[in-house]
Amino acid sequence: MVRITVLDPVVAQRLEKLNQRGIPPLSNLTVGEARRLSSEMAKELLGPAINVERVRDFNVPVSGVEIPIRAYVNSTRICLPALVYFHGGGWVLGDLDGVDWVCRSLTVATGCAVFSVGYRLAPESKFPTPAEDCYQVTKWLVENASTQGLDPNRVAVGGDSAGGNLAAAVCLMARDRRGPVLVHQLLIYPITNHAFNTKSYRDYANGYYLTTEDMRWFWNHYLREETDGSNPYASPLVAKNLSGLPPALVVTAGFDPLRDEGEAYSARLQEAGVNSRLIRFDSMVHGFLDFTDLKQTRQAIDESALELRRVFLMN
């Protein structure tokens, strides 16, 4: 069955405004320039403040460095379930502030604690460092659950874009290393494969917020060498065995170059006997959670929260 989709008119208008500003492609920018531009654009897109009972910043020691964490709690209960969240930005861009609205929204909608992780970025810290940071922080939170007011048996991971990639990698690492038992993975338009050969990559190579050349720029900064792209912790889709992983919710966007690889990962999880639910927002582009005023963004948050609440109640 062929799905006929139309780009959301509000999104189309915003993309046209971005185009009129003449913002250069990432491939023409240095990392420093790209980070400054990304930070400026994130501030422009900030949604209205969402009140959360407690927000605190602290550090977790990982491999001799301190990884910044921002914890969100909107409950007076103890022994809370938790979502460990990894921000997007192609492993090169992004920070805790950029996903503050998303994390606040999720903790309010779920009642769980949300821990946002400021993992080290590429190219200063190439693969596998960001993935290892995320795994070690998740492991630390489970091992120190009592001091954090958490239930160690109800911990999920999640993230958007590169953060979704890192969440999938953390689940693979936890299984392979007999590490913490995770109950869910929330993968929002995730990067799952170091390849550019899907139909969505061809159809949406340019003009839809994220471009194919952007992704090449991100991957080139992330990987130490080309062969790293075939490592399952970089490209979860190429993992030979996906059995024994936690249930997943995979969210994709219709006009996203990454759409097909995200949906292929969900399908492979299902084939491996993992309960994986897929939701595609047909009229959206990659990164649509940044558009906090859209009804589709609210729906994506609500669907994610519903799935998390269901999983936490079952465990």
**pLDDT tens-digit readout, 115-138:** 999 999 999 999 999 999 999 999
Q: What is the pLDDT of residue 4?
A: 58
Query: Which among 100, 160, 286, 304 is annotated as catalytic?
Result: 286
Q: Average model confidence (pLDDT) for the chain?
A: 95
| 256 tagged catalytic | yes
CATH code of domain 9-314: 3.40.50.1820
Query: Residue 1 above 50 pLDDT?
Result: no
Give DSSP secondary structure letters for 186-199.
Answer: EEES----S---SH
Please tell me the pTM assigned to this model.
Answer: 0.97
Domain ranges in the chain are 9-314
Query: Catalytic pick from 256, 266, 283, 304?
Result: 256
Angle, CA of 247, 309 and 185, to the nearest 5°:
30
pLDDT digits (tens, 9 = 90+) for 93-120: 999 999 999 999 999 999 999 999 999 9
d(CA 110, CA 112): 5
The tens digit of pLDDT for each residue in 160-194 reads 999 999 999 999 999 999 999 999 999 999 999 99
pLDDT at 3 over 70: no
Catalytically annotated residue among 105, 116, 161, 283: 161
What mean pLDDT do residues 11-16 have? 94
Burial of residue 183 (number of CB atoms within 10 Å: 0-12, 13-18, 19+): buried
127: left (phi over 0), alpha (psi -120 to 50) or beta: beta
Pick the more confident residue, 46 or 212: 212
Sheet holding 276-285, edge to edge: 54-62, 65-73, 113-117, 80-86, 150-160, 185-188, 248-255, 276-285
Looking at residue 228, what is its pLDDT? 98
301, 102 contact by CB (below 8 A): yes
* DSSP per position, 80-111: EEEEEEE--STTTS--TGGGHHHHHHHHHHH-
